[in-house]
Amino acid sequence: MANRFSIKHQPGFTAIAATCFIVLYLPIVVLVIYAFNAATSTSEWGGFSLKWFQSAWQNTQVIDATLRSFQIGATAAVFSTIFATMAALATTRTASYPGLTFKYAAINQPLMVPEIVTGVALLIFFSRIKIFTGYSGLGYLIAAHTAFCIPFAYLPIRARLENMDLTLERAAADLYATPWRTFRRITLPLLWPGILAGLMLAFVISLDDVVITEFVKSGGQDTLPTYMLGQIRRGITPEINAISTVFLLLSVAIVTLFFFISRKHD
Amino acid sequence: MATAEEVAKAAERRDIRDRWLLSAPALLVIFLAATGPLLIVLVYSFLTPGSYGDVKWQFSPEAWIAVFLERDIFDDTLSVAAAHVTIFLRSIKLSVVTTIATLVLGFPTAYFMATRSEKTRDLWLFLITIPFWTNLLIRTFAVLQIIRNEGIVNTILLKLGIISSPIQILYTDTAILIGMAYVYLPLMVLPIYASMEKLDFRLVEAGYDLYATRFKVLRKIIFPLVKPGVIAGSILVFIPALGAYVTPSVLGGGKNMMLSNLIELQFGQGRNWPLGSALSIAVMIIVMVALLAYVRNAGKSGVRHG
């Protein structure tokens, strides 16, 4: 190899990296292949078939859980992104002021605590509120998801804001634009890619959550991941492979979009 | 009349007040649905368990005693709760080994990515980001299908004649370890890559000019410079690994419990919410210690590299 004598060469590193990439993708590829398996047992290949996709599509539990996941994910993503945008505006482009460090710590707090602990804490807290108010709807799950999505939505929005200087906003103010008009016509359009990235991140994070949802949900409030966890614990059918494949496609689509949005505007 | 200074001061105060108002919704939601309930867990860990779950409002240190000790039902003597200690040690051991394994695999991977040309770097980054954002449960499930007795690993080994009967990997500690290393690998690679990308290779060149070997350059130049990334990656892997719930539930098969499964048990069949709360706080304490060590280390290396 020509780069044997390059200063960047380290023996064996390329081999390990190649192994890592193969190992990262191999299980996912196998999982997807077996989603198209005609055999009922997941251990042998019985020919190509779409029947597991069909059976997942006709499974009302799967459809219910999927719709619930989307409902929670979309609501939590919108709320967390709005709140994170406001918080990002309040914590960037300023000299340090009393409480700024506290705000950083508070916003990132959900990232510092293991999910199991947050899950247990919310189980205790919400079970009290449930007894007190009698309400047992999706509100609890939406509140919990909004909270842990905020630090993720905050990340790209804050990064974007830090790269924006105040010149244009000052110019707008000099031309007698009201603060609201300046925000709507200058700040918001410039910030938009960051907000979109934050929204997508929050949606993916909410869609992926298992642990906190598992502890917070009331009976009959399965999301797609908690439904799948239940099925996997009970034993596997290729139907789970089919659901996973669709789920994977969706995630990859969102991540790809996210990647291009955040790269294009760098 | 207000002086210019007073006007400026008032404006600054107004600005700070506005900034508090703007961040209020985010702070409020996080306090209500994340931080605040943690305080309730702390309170619950000092209460008496109720007969059907939940608690009786009566102070009791029993839950904290039960974290590591067992009370004999007959003569009330205390002895070490072997089951709990085993689970604590297993969780810490598995998390540490996972961190080391992802470091050993992730460091060369990040190095490989950082030494590609500008254009292809984005592609490699994209390839590592995809597994990072795909559902953890699905990735764990994918590992399950690979390592089970009828899975591809055992099938290939059998066909090659290396083994005569399938190796039982699933539902062992090894399975949990493989699963955790697999799902958390991107969390190690990304921060190391971020440090590595900024690495100034003229320093590496200088090392070679002074007759350093490849290994010496790696150990004395590259590693110290990307150490903040290594520490960040280790923290990012260690914390979720310690509290891992999905991976041990799916790959450990209920027998090989980790801390999260033990906690879950107290809120389910165990009906001992105070003990579950005390165990949760104990996990938090371990995480806090790890984070503090990180902050101190990060502070130190920050000073050194200016």
Tens digit of each residue's pLDDT (9 = 90 or more) over B76-130: 778 888 889 999 999 999 999 999 999 999 999 999 999 998 889 989 999 998 8
Number of structural domains in chain A: 1
Same domain, B42 and B174: no
Same domain, B113 and B213: yes
In a domain, A20, yes or no: no
**Residue A157: other Cβ atoms inside 10 A:** 26
CATH number of residue A72's parent domain = 1.10.3720.10
Same domain, B250 and B180: yes
In a domain, A205, yes or no: yes
Domain span at B125: 82-304
Identify the burial level of A21 via C-beta atoms within 10 angstroms of its C-beta, where 0-12 means exposed, 13-18 middle and 19 or more buried: middle
In a domain, A37, yes or no: no
State which of B79, B106, B132 marks the end of a domain.
B79
Binned average pLDDT, 10 residues per bin, chain A of 266 residues = 66 91 94 88 80 92 95 97 96 87 91 92 93 92 96 92 87 90 92 93 93 93 95 85 93 85 64
pLDDT at A118: 95
CATH number of residue B219's parent domain = 1.10.3720.10
Run of H or E including B284: helix B273-304
Same domain, B62 and B164: no
Same domain, B282 and B209: yes
The residue ranges of chain B whose pLDDT is under 50 are: 302-306
Same domain, B129 and B55: no
Sorted by sequence, the CB contacts under 8 Å of residue B33 that are 6+ apart come out as: A122, A143, A144, A146, A147
Same domain, B185 and B209: yes
B214, A263: Cβ pair inside 8 Å?
no
pLDDT at B270: 82
List of chain B residues whose C-beta atoms are within 8 Å of the C-beta of residue A90:
18-23
State which of B56, B79, B102 marks the end of a domain.
B79
Same domain, B153 and B225: yes
Q: Is any Cβ of chain B less than 8 angstroms from the Cβ of A125? A: yes
Number of structural domains in chain B: 2
A19, B105: Cβ pair inside 8 Å?
yes
State which of B59, B79, B99 marks the end of a domain.
B79
Same domain, B39 and B162: no
Q: Is B168 left (phi over 0), alpha (psi -120 to 50) or beta?
A: beta
Q: Is any Cβ of chain A less than 8 angstroms from the Cβ of B68? A: no
In a domain, A132, yes or no: yes
Same domain, B69 and B99: no
H helix runs in A209-234, sequence order: 211-216, 224-234
Domain span at A253: 59-264
Same domain, B174 and B49: no
